[in-house]
Each structure stands twice: as C-alpha cells, then as structure tokens.
Amino acid sequence: MWLLPVNPPPVPGMEIAFATRPANTVAGDYYDVFPRPASASANQSYLIAVADVAGKSIPAALLMATFQASLKTLSATPSSLAELVESMNSYACSNSQGGLRFTTALLAEYEPATRTLAYINAGHNRPILRHSSGSIERLDAGGLPLGITTDAIYQSGTVTWETGDWLVVFTDGVVEAVNEPGVDYGEERLISILNAGTETSPVKMLSHIMVDLDLFVGNTPQHDDITCLLIKAV
C-alpha cells in the first residue's frame, strides 16, 4: 500500500479520487497520478496510470512493485507516451515468465495547457469517458497487455478534456464482482451510478460506487482486487 498515493496531486482542470481494496492481504492492482518533468520545449503534463497484474497475493504484488518502479523511472525521461509504453512492455516481458505474468494497464498523459488527454490502453478494461452532453465514449485505443511479446504494437488515442466530463478507470474486480446468485456487477450498473451523480464530486461519486458495490455483492466473498479512479473536468 505504501507504493500507492494516499491523496491525488493538484492537477489544473481536474478533480480526482481513487480507491483500492485488495482481495487478499496484498494486491496486484496499481494506480497513480503524478507530474512528469517539464522541459523547455514541452508543456507540463501529468501521467495517469491504472494497472492490474495477472494473479493475486504476493507474486502479483511483487510484480506490481517492479511496474511502479519502472514507470516512475521511465516517465522521468523525455519520451513520448508511446515510447514510454513500449519501454514498459519491454521491461515487463523480461519479468513475465514467458507472458504468464502479464499486466493490463491504462496509461494516459494530460496537458492542462491544451486540455488534451492522450492515452494507451494495454489490454485493460475500457475506461468510461462520459461527456458533459451525456454521451459515452470508451478509451479502447492501444494493444496487448504488457509482458506478452516484445514486438507488440500500441496505438494511441487522444480526447479533448471539457468541463463536466467524467473519466472512470477501473480494474476487472469492480465489474466482475458477483452477488450470491452469481451475477456480475457489470459496466451498465457502473454507468447508471455515474449518470445519476454527475453534479457531485469525484470523492462522493467514488463513495456511492463503493457503497452500491457492497450492497450488490452482499455477503459474497471478494475474489479479485478492486480499484477505481475517477476524474472530473472542472
């Protein structure tokens, strides 16, 4: 847990909230938001990351720790988001036991000066971008999970960040949480919670999601790590 931030940093144009619940004592989920070093030729930007290492408990947590360390190191270099993800994949392949210990990840870079959010989805659950108009967009540009193959090709996507937009990034432990009859929580229920509370803050929205998730699963044991990151454009 000490590898994860306690509070989000101040990011111009964004309100942020995040939370995680490990299925066991330690977890393989990771999230972070932090500034990238600004250079004389580039605007200040912030890296947003949510990742899910295959497996649970200590082996997944150890690989998550190496993911966090490599991400912090590589993001400090003057590289594009695409170059960063390619480097992360190369490093992950050297520690994935031939692809068995892969990592799904959503890596994004936000520039407050241009209000653009570039992202690459490496095999992760597709984040939900709810525009202020009410339309839903899914962030699906990307490629394979990190650690599968060194020659993986990653496509990047870009969205314009507009006041009133919401971004929900989550791991599969959220939407695949099951209740006693064995029904998944599902993305549609998550979107309905989002639609019902767009005027609230990310902190309150996150609380609503977690409470609704608890009510849905009841006494069913948690079988996977749960992580959710919410961002509201202001």
Cα–Cα nearest to 143, from 131, 130, 134, 156:
156
- Whole-number Cα distances in Å, 156 to 19, 83, 134: 26, 11, 24
- The amino acid at residue 39 is S
The reported pLDDT for the residue numbered 29 is: 85
Domains with residue ranges and CATH for the chain = 14-172+227-233 (3.60.40.10)
187-200 pLDDT, tens digit each = 999 999 999 999 99
Q: What's the pTM?
A: 0.92
The pLDDT tens digits for 129-166 are 999 999 999 999 999 999 999 999 999 999 999 999 99
Cβ-based neighbour number of residue 146 at 10 Å: 29
